[in-house]
Amino acid sequence: MRRQSLLIAAALAIPAILAASSPKLLLSWKNPDYSGTTHFSNILVLALNGKAENRAEFEDELVAAIARPGVQATQSYVFLPRPNATPIDMKDLKELIQEQKFDAIVVARLTKAQVKTTYVPGEVYNPYPLYGNFYGYYSAVSPLVYSPGYMEKEKLAQVETNFYATAKPDGELVWTGTTNTFDGNSPMKAIKGLVKVVIDALEKENVISRKP
C-alpha cells in the first residue's frame, strides 16, 4: 500500500514538474509614460543572440504569431543574415528600420544559457521488502538488480523580450517581459512556449490587438 501511495504521489507530481520547467513570465511591464501610437502595423522581429538556427526559428514563430489583419511582421534575418556570434551594425539596423518603415521592433535576448550537470546515484531495487530467516533472506537478495549512477545534463535558459516603438529617433520602450529559468533541452519546444507567453502578454497589455 505504501509503495502504491508513493507511485500515485509521483504520478500526480509529474505534471507540476513539467509545468514548472516551461517558459512563464516573471516580469511583464508596460511603460506608463509611453504616449505614442497604440496601433502598430509593421513590426520587425529580432532575436539578438544565441545559435543562428534557434534565432531563425524564434523569429519565424513570433512573426507567425504576431501576424493578423492590419498587422504584418518580418524576421530580421530576411534583411540582416547573421552567423553565430555575429553582432549587428547599429547603423545598418537604423537604416533598415527607416527604409522599411517599421513602426515597432520586438527584440529578444537570452539572459541565461547554461548547462547544469547533476550526478544521479545508482539504486538497489529489492522486490521482496520482508525476509525473516536465512532462506527468506537469500531468496530476497539473490534477484537484486543494481542500477549504476550516471551524469545528467540539464540545459537552462532565460529570455528577456522588449517591444519598442520606432517613432522617436532612438526608439521608445513600450513593454518588457522576462521569463523564468526554463528547460532548454529542447530548443524548438521551448521556443513555441516562449512565443505563446510573449504574445499572450502583448495582447493582454493591448500592445497588439487580439486575433479575431
CA distance 201 to 66: 12
Contact 106, 43 (CB under 8 A): yes
The answer to whether residue 92 sits within a structural domain is yes
Residue pLDDT, tens place only, 170-211: 999 999 999 999 887 888 888 999 999 999 999 999 999 988
Give yes or no for residue 164 having a pLDDT over 50: yes
The answer to whether residue 71 sits within a structural domain is yes
Return mean pLDDT, the chain. 82
The answer to whether residue 124 sits within a structural domain is no
Q: What are phi and psi of 49, to 5 degrees?
A: -140, -175
Q: Is 144 exposed, middle or buried (0-12, 13-18, 19+ CB in 10 A)?
A: exposed
The answer to whether residue 107 sits within a structural domain is yes
Task: Give residue 9's pLDDT.
Answer: 39
CA distance 67 to 73: 6
Cβ-Cβ contacts under 8 Å for 76 (sequence gap 6 or more): 44, 45, 46, 47, 59
As given in the structure block, the three cell numbers for residue 57 are 526559428
Work out the pLDDT band at 66, boundaries 50, 70, 90. very high
> Does residue 194 or residue 21 have the better pLDDT?
194
Domain range for 30 is: 24-118+150-204
Q: What one-character DSSP code corresponds to residue 36? A: S
The answer to whether residue 45 sits within a structural domain is yes
How many independent structural domains does the chain possess? Answer: 1
Residue pLDDT, tens place only, 120-152: 776 665 555 555 555 666 666 555 555 667 676
Task: Give residue 64's pLDDT.
Answer: 97
The CATH number of the domain holding residue 154 is: 3.40.50.10610
Work out the pLDDT band at 70, boundaries 50, 70, 90. very high
The answer to whether residue 47 sits within a structural domain is yes
Q: Shortest CA distance to 90 belongs to which of 59, 48, 58?
A: 48
CA distance 90 to 171: 13
As given in the structure block, the three cell numbers for residue 126 are 529489492
% of the chain residues with pLDDT over 70: 76
CA distance 206 to 212: 14
The answer to whether residue 69 sits within a structural domain is yes
| pTM check: above 0.85 | no
CA distance 111 to 192: 18
The answer to whether residue 158 sits within a structural domain is yes
